[in-house]
Structure 1
Amino acid sequence: MTTTAVGKMTAKGQITIPRDIRDFLQVKPGDLITWETTADGGVRVRRADPLDLAYLGAVQDGLSEWNSDADTEAYRDL
């Protein structure tokens, strides 16, 4: 099943998720939503699961380990 819905963004960057999409994602107030860009220029939107949040937190801590100008230079041509 494919659903298409349109929302309008406010000046603050906020958007209301249309009811059909909220129902499909099974989200309620307070739930977190993930936005993932795709290689073809699209965006995938889904409800974040607790496991997603734990994984993202663990990965985020490790990403700052190699974040210096020397690292950028050393790995520039990879």
Structure 2
Amino acid sequence: MPDQSARTAHSQVSVKSQTVLPAAVLEHLAIGPDDRLRYRITPDGIRIDKAPPEGEDPFAAFTEWAGPIDDEDYAGL
């Protein structure tokens, strides 16, 4: 049974691959000017969330762990 508390929002992608985030998404993620988004590709779909400010992500320096095999191996941690 689908989660009845889930809300849905839609946006259209332009010819330049740009989109406008719906107000409900901006509000839920507390996104403002100059904030960054993080896109995580998973077997179940894409997760979008507010990225930590640069320099605050403790794993940002470990780019050698940024491959799909590592994502799968460490997904449950």
CA drift of 1:55 comes to: 2.4
Number of residue-to-residue matches in the alignment: 58
Residues 1:21 and 2:46 are matched in the alignment = no
Gap regions ≥5 residues in structure 1: 64-78
Q: Which structure 1 residue ranges, 4+ long, deviate > 4 Å from structure 2?
A: none
Counterpart of 1:59 in structure 2 is 62
Residues 1:8 and 2:18 are matched in the alignment = no
TM-score (norm. length: structure 1):
0.66
Q: Output the aligned Cα RMSD.
A: 1.4
CA drift of 1:29 comes to: 1.3
CA distance in 2, matches of 1:3, 1:25: 13
TM-score (norm. length: structure 2):
0.67
More helix by share: 1
CA distance in 2, matches of 1:5, 1:43: 15
CA distance in 1, matches of 2:62, 2:43: 21
Residues 1:44 and 2:47 are matched in the alignment = yes
CA drift of 1:59 comes to: 1.6
CA distance in 2, matches of 1:20, 1:59: 33
